[in-house]
Chain A
Amino acid sequence: MRNIISINNIHKSFAGLHVLNGLSLEISEKETHVILGQSGCGKSVLLKCLLGIFEVDSGEITVAGISVNDKQRSKEYMQKFSILFQGNALFDSMTVIENVEFGIKQSLKHKHLNSKEIRKIAEEKIISVGLESRVFDIYPAEMSGGMQKRAALARAIAVEPEVLLFDEPTSGLDPITGGLICNLLRDTVKKLGITSLTITHDLKVAEFLSDRVSVINKGTVAWIGQAKNMKNCGNEFVEEFYRASNVISARH
C-alpha cells in the first residue's frame, strides 16, 4: 500500500536537550498505527512536529506528498488531519454544536455549504459519536470528560480528514469510559476507512487499536511491528516496557 505519512530522519532539540534523534517512520494508507513510549520520550513533540507547530531542526516530513515546510500548501497540508487532543481542546466560548460547526466552516472541502447544511452535518456527527441531542446547546465545561472526548471526536471527524490523530485518547478517563472511547475510536476509524495515528503510553490501548505499533525510545523508533509480537521481539527496551505494563495491570 501507498505511504501516506513519511517521516524521514528528523531531529528536534530544545536548548541542548535532544528530544528526537533521527526518527524515521512510514505509515501506509488506511493503517491504524500506534506510537507507544514512556512519558517524556517526545511523543507530543513528534505530534507537534508532524503538525508543523514545531519546526524540526533537520529531516523531512511529508503527508500525501506535501512537505510540512511547503508554506504555499500549508492549509491543504493541515486539512489532511484532524486531531483529538489530549485535553480535547474544545473551544469553551462555543457550545458543542458551534464547536463542530466551526470545524466544518474552516474546511476547504465544505466551502460550498450553507449554514443549514453545516448544522445538519454537525448534528449527525454529534449523534454518531453517541451523544444525545440535548448536548447540542450546552458548553463543553458543563459536560463530563467522556462526553467532551466524544464531542471532540465529533468535531474531528466532521471535516472528513484523511488522517485522524489521537493524542492519549484515554488519559483522564476511568477504565470503563476509556474502554468505551477506545471502542468508539476503533469503530469510527473502521467505518470511515481512514488512516489513524494514536499516541499513547498505555499498552492496552495500543494492543486494542493497532495494526502496527512503533515503540519510541531515546528519540528514535526502537521497534516496529504488531502488538502481539512485542513480548518476544528481542529488543530489551520493548520487552521491559511490555513486562512493566503487565505488572501494573496485574496489580489492579
Chain B
Amino acid sequence: MIATLGRYTLASLREIGRISVFITKGVRCCFTPPFYFREILRHIISIGFYSLPIVGLTAIFAGMALALQMHVGFTRFNAEGAIASVVLIGITRELGPVFAGLMVAGRMSSSMAAEIGSMRVSEQIDALMTMSVDPYKFLVAPRIISSVLTMPFLVLIADIIGVMGGFLVATTLLDYSTGSYITQTANNFELWDVLSGLFKAAAFGFSIAGFGCYHGFFSDLGARGVGRATTSAVVSSCIGILALNYLLTALFFGA
C-alpha cells in the first residue's frame, strides 16, 4: 500500500520534473535563433484561420445563452437594465477566452500531439537530430510562438461575436430597445475587461501548445501510443486552461 503510494508519488514528481524541463527548454528556444518563420506562419494559419468558425460559433451561442439566463435571473430583481453590462463583462472577462481556449485546445493540442508523436514514431525527430536541427527549435518553439500570438486575436473576435449574440437575443427575443442596449454596452465598456481576457488568451495559447508538444514529444511508440498522447494532450491542456483561468482571474480581479 505504502509502496504503491510511494511509487505513484515518485512517478508524478518525475512527470512534473519532465514537464518543467520541457517547458523551460521550449520557452528558451522561443527567444534564441534560428527561428523557423515558415513553420511559425504555417501554425498561425492552422491555429488562427482554421479555428475561426468553431470559435465564432461557440462565442455566439455563449453570448445568446448568457443574455437569456441573465434576463430570466434579473427580472426577479427588476434589474433587467443590467443585462447589457453583464453580457459584456461575462463575455470579455470569462466566457470568450475560456470557451475559445477550450475549443482551440480540443482542435489544436490534439493535432500537435498527433503530428509530433507520429514524427517520433516514424523517426523524423531522429532525422532532424542527425541534421543537427534542434527539435525543440524546429517543432516546439514555432508552435508555442504562434499559439501565444494567435489566441488573443481569436479571443478578440470571439468577444465581438459573443457580445453581438447577446445583443441579438436581447433585442429580438426579449424586447429590449436597440438604442438603449447599445448605449448601455458603450457606457459599461472598460478596456481592462477586454485586455485581461486577451492576456488570459495568450496564457491559454501557451497551455495548448505546451501540452500538445509535450505529449507528442514523449508519446509511446506505435499507433496506440500516439492515440493516448492526443487524448492526454487535450485533457491536460484543458485542465491547464481552467487552472490558469482561475489563477489569472485571482491575480487581475482578486481582492
A48 touches B126 (CB 8 A): yes
Within 8 A of B (CB), among A88-124: 88-93, 102-103, 106-107
A75 touches B124 (CB 8 A): no
Within 8 A of A (CB), among B124-167: 124, 126-127, 129-133
A83 touches B130 (CB 8 A): yes
Shortest Cβ gap from B143 to chain A (Å): 12
Cβ–Cβ < 8 Å partners of B123 in chain A:
85-87, 89
B127 touches A85 (CB 8 A): yes
B42 within 8 A of A: yes
- The 14 listed contacts between A and B (C-beta, < 8 Å) are A48-B126, A51-B130, A78-B130, A78-B131, A82-B130, A85-B126, A89-B122, A89-B124, A90-B124, A91-B124, A91-B127, A92-B124, A93-B42, A106-B131
B126 touches A81 (CB 8 A): no
Which A residues have a C-beta under 8 Å from some C-beta of B?
Answer: 48, 51, 53, 74-75, 78-79, 81-83, 85-93, 102-103, 106-107, 159
Shortest Cβ gap from A143 to chain B (Å): 14
The chain B residue with its CB closest to the CB of A155 is B127
CA distance A87 to B119 in the complex (A): 11
Cβ–Cβ < 8 Å partners of B129 in chain A:
51, 53, 78
Cβ–Cβ < 8 Å partners of A88 in chain B:
122
B132 touches A81 (CB 8 A): no
Cβ–Cβ < 8 Å partners of A102 in chain B:
131
Shortest Cβ gap from A165 to chain B (Å): 9
> Interface range on chain B: under 10, 10 to 19, 20 to 34, or 35 or more?
10 to 19
CA distance A119 to B127 in the complex (A): 20
CA distance A159 to B132 in the complex (A): 12
Shortest Cβ gap from A44 to chain B (Å): 10
Shortest Cβ gap from A166 to chain B (Å): 13
Cβ–Cβ < 8 Å partners of B122 in chain A:
87-89
B132 touches A78 (CB 8 A): yes
CB < 8 Å neighbour of B132 from A75, A83, A86, A91: A75
The chain A residue with its CB closest to the CB of B124 is A89
CA distance A206 to B129 in the complex (A): 27
Interface centre among A85, A89, A90, A159 (most CB of B within 10 A): A89
Within 8 A of A (CB), among B13-53: 42
The chain B residue with its CB closest to the CB of A94 is B38
The chain B residue with its CB closest to the CB of A161 is B130
CA distance A81 to B124 in the complex (A): 16
Cβ–Cβ < 8 Å partners of B132 in chain A:
74-75, 78-79, 106
Cβ–Cβ < 8 Å partners of A48 in chain B:
126
CA distance A190 to B45 in the complex (A): 45
Cβ–Cβ < 8 Å partners of B133 in chain A:
106
Within 8 A of A (CB), among B78-129: 115, 119, 122-124, 126-127, 129
Shortest Cβ gap from A217 to chain B (Å): 25
The chain B residue with its CB closest to the CB of A103 is B131
CA distance A75 to B132 in the complex (A): 6
B131 touches A51 (CB 8 A): no
A89 touches B126 (CB 8 A): yes
Cβ–Cβ < 8 Å partners of A74 in chain B:
132
Cβ–Cβ < 8 Å partners of A91 in chain B:
119, 124, 127
Interface centre among B42, B115, B126, B127 (most CB of A within 10 A): B127
Interface centre among B122, B126, B129, B130 (most CB of A within 10 A): B130
Q: Apart from A51-B126, A51-B129, A88-B122, what 17 extra A-B contacts exist at CB < 8 Å?
A: A51-B130, A78-B130, A82-B130, A83-B130, A86-B123, A87-B122, A87-B123, A89-B123, A89-B124, A89-B127, A91-B127, A92-B124, A106-B131, A106-B132, A106-B133, A107-B131, A159-B131
CA distance A107 to B132 in the complex (A): 8
The chain B residue with its CB closest to the CB of A165 is B130
A83 touches B42 (CB 8 A): no
